[in-house]
């Protein structure tokens, strides 16, 4: 979500006549768009601000330093108090005002503007409604919803992103159609809890006197976006297991462009820890929903998130997580050792914190289970022909090209240079837990997106 916001901020600045700088030393404006979900976000921010202060004082006194995003939303006036050389601070709800705030600061001096919530009636509250400078021409993010109505004990998102507000479906489809006309072939639908999309829209309609049934509308949206001509792949992130329903699985199975990849965050396999996290499901319920996904969506790949060492996690709790992870047979997992985020409920559970050495040992054991299932899933794809969208030359071997399958698996293959966004068919002949390797069979679709030309200074 923050990366998408960054593309929109860059788009707003380009619309005002700015061009990308090659270095901070030569920049008129440096924007740091922060995310406080990651560990040590504060330290990284203030360390970078210290470096920029030195550059500003040494060689570029007119440089404007701008801080936006989740950490700005959380800390509000604190940033300018701790780093007085910052010119602009804005939060997650007024991204669309970034260029205006920068100009205001240039004319009138430093400014902090933090809105407590997004304006549900303002279309620009959704980053996707703004101009963008996409880093990847063939792929685009599309915000369908901002905010979150859940109360997960470990998560700062509701505090910095606010309540759930769904973007009108007609606006989303219109934006997806514009992306397709621009040559985008892969769209990722973004939201903090995408599969509850539209529940607030139907609730508002009900309150206005309509007899509409209050329900999520995500499955409908998948079908609508997936039917747009030119869109070859539709992804989404991230759903919440407690809100996942059969109609979403059916939409995935029946809409050709919706990829057979489901990111399904487990977080823990222990019922007591899941309750402490306020996740709204049990380990057994999670596995039953996973089984339904595999019954409904042919050849679906499942990835997940798991937190190890959540406050109060006992050896038995962790063993339950290991058991659920083994039963789930994930294609991959993002695993984390719990670290407290100031402002979250779990950060206050100091008397229940798990010893770091214990958490690290558990983490390594869990990674072994995840790597085992990831390897098995990838080895099972040897001998198959996979459709791969080219991302560019391999970082480790420039003689190879790299790309991703519909299941979001990395594939390396030998080929002459191909334009990113080209779709090829590759016969898989080797696999590790992290990647696949194969031989190019044919080019299925050549990239047709517009090529961005560098602007002269």
Whether the bond into 238 is cis, omega within 30 of 0: yes
pLDDT, position 240 = 97
Based on the fold, state whether residues 106 and 134 are members of the same structural domain: no
Based on the fold, state whether residues 69 and 160 are members of the same structural domain: no
Tell me how far CA of residue 94 lies from CA of 86, 90, 167, 171, 415, in angstroms.
18, 7, 16, 19, 45
pLDDT, position 450 = 57
pLDDT, position 452 = 47
User: Which residue ranges in the chain fall short of pLDDT 50?
Assistant: 451-457
Based on the fold, state whether residues 59 and 185 are members of the same structural domain: no
- The CATH number of residue 63's host domain is 3.40.50.12160
Domain edge (last residue) among 113, 134, 154? 113
pLDDT, position 379 = 98
Q: Is residue 284 part of a domain?
A: yes
pLDDT tens digit sequence for 44-66? 898 999 999 999 999 899 999 99
Angle at the Cα of 431 from the Cα atoms of 427 and 437, rounded to 5 degrees: 45
pLDDT, position 136 = 84
Based on the fold, state whether residues 152 and 87 are members of the same structural domain: no
Q: Measured between alpha carbons, how far is 71 from 79 in angstroms, rounded to an integer?
A: 9
Based on the fold, state whether residues 356 and 396 are members of the same structural domain: no
Q: Is residue 404 part of a domain?
A: yes
Backbone angles phi, psi at 163, to 5 degrees: -75, 165
Strand-pair category, 261-263 with 301-308: parallel
Q: Is residue 259 part of a domain?
A: yes
Q: Is residue 118 part of a domain?
A: no
Based on the fold, state whether residues 350 and 434 are members of the same structural domain: no
Domain edge (last residue) among 337, 355, 379? 379
231 is in which domain, residue-wise?
123-379
For residue 410, the tally of other CB atoms under 10 A from its CB is 17
pLDDT, position 409 = 98
Q: Is residue 429 part of a domain?
A: yes
Based on the fold, state whether residues 272 and 218 are members of the same structural domain: yes
Based on the fold, state whether residues 262 and 328 are members of the same structural domain: yes
- The CATH number of residue 356's host domain is 3.80.30.20
pLDDT, position 2 = 82
Based on the fold, state whether residues 103 and 127 are members of the same structural domain: no
Q: Is residue 452 part of a domain?
A: no
Q: Measured between alpha carbons, how far is 221 from 231 in angstroms, rounded to an integer?
A: 14
Based on the fold, state whether residues 57 and 157 are members of the same structural domain: no
Domain count, the chain: 3
Which of 310, 322, 321 lies closest to 358, judged by CA? 310
pLDDT, position 456 = 37
Q: Is residue 453 part of a domain?
A: no
pLDDT, position 92 = 87
pLDDT, position 38 = 66
| Cβ–Cβ < 8 Å for 335, 370 | yes
Domain edge (last residue) among 95, 113, 131? 113
Based on the fold, state whether residues 326 and 405 are members of the same structural domain: no
Tell me how far CA of residue 391 lies from CA of 91, 327, 395, 420, in angstroms.
32, 33, 11, 5
Q: Is residue 457 part of a domain?
A: no
Based on the fold, state whether residues 199 and 224 are members of the same structural domain: yes
């Amino acid at each position: 979500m923050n990366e998408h916001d960054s593309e929109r901020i860059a788009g707003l600045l380009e619309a005002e006549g700015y061009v990308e700088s090659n270095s901070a030393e030569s920049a008129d404006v440096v924007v740091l768009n922060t995310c406080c979900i990651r560990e040590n976000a504060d330290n990284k921010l203030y360390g970078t601000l210290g470096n920029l202060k030195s550059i500003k004082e040494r060689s570029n006194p007119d440089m404007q330093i701008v801080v936006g995003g989740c950490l700005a939303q959380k800390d509000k006036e604190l940033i300018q108090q701790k780093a007085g050389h910052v010119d602009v601070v804005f939060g997650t709800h007024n991204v669309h005002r970034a260029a205006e705030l920068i100009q205001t600061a240039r004319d009138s001096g430093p400014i902090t503007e933090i809105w407590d919530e997004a304006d549900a009636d303002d279309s620009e509250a959704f980053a996707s409604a703004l101009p963008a400078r996409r880093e990847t021409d063939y792929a685009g993010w599309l915000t369908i919803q901002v905010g979150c109505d859940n109360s997960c004990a470990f998560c700062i998102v509701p505090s910095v992103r606010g309540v759930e507000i769904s973007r009108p479906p007609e606006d989303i489809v219109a934006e997806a159609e514009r992306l397709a006309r621009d040559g985008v072939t892969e769209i990722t639908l973004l939201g903090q809890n995408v599969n509850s999309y539209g529940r607030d829209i139907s609730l508002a309609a009900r309150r206005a006197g309509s007899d509409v049934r209050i329900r999520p509308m995500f499955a409908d949206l998948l079908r609508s976006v997936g039917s747009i001509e030119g869109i070859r792949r539709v992804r989404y992130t991230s759903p919440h297991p407690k809100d996942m329903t059969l109609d979403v699985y059916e939409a995935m199975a029946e809409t050709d462009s919706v990829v057979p990849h489901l990111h399904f965050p487990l977080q823990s396999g222990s019922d007591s820890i899941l309750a402490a996290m306020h996740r709204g499901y049990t380990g057994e319920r999670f596995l039953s929903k996973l089984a339904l996904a595999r019954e409904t969506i042919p050849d679906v790949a499942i990835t997940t998130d798991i937190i190890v060492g959540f406050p109060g996690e006992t050896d038995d709790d962790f063993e339950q997580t290991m058991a659920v992870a083994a039963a789930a047979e994930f294609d991959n997992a993002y695993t984390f050792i719990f670290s407290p985020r100031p402002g979250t409920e779990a950060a206050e559970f100091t008397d229940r914190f798990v010893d770091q050495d214990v958490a690290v040992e558990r983490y390594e054991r869990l990674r072994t289970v995840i790597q085992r299932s990831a390897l098995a899933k990838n080895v099972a794809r040897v001998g198959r022909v996979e459709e791969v969208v080219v991302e560019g030359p391999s970082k480790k071997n420039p003689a190879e090209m790299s790309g991703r399958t519909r299941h979001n698996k990395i594939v390396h293959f030998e080929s002459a240079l191909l334009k990113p966004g080209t779709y090829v068919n590759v016969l898989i002949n080797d696999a590790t837990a992290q990647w696949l390797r194969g031989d190019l069979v044919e080019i299925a679709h050549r990239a047709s997106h517009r090529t961005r030309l560098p602007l002269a200074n």
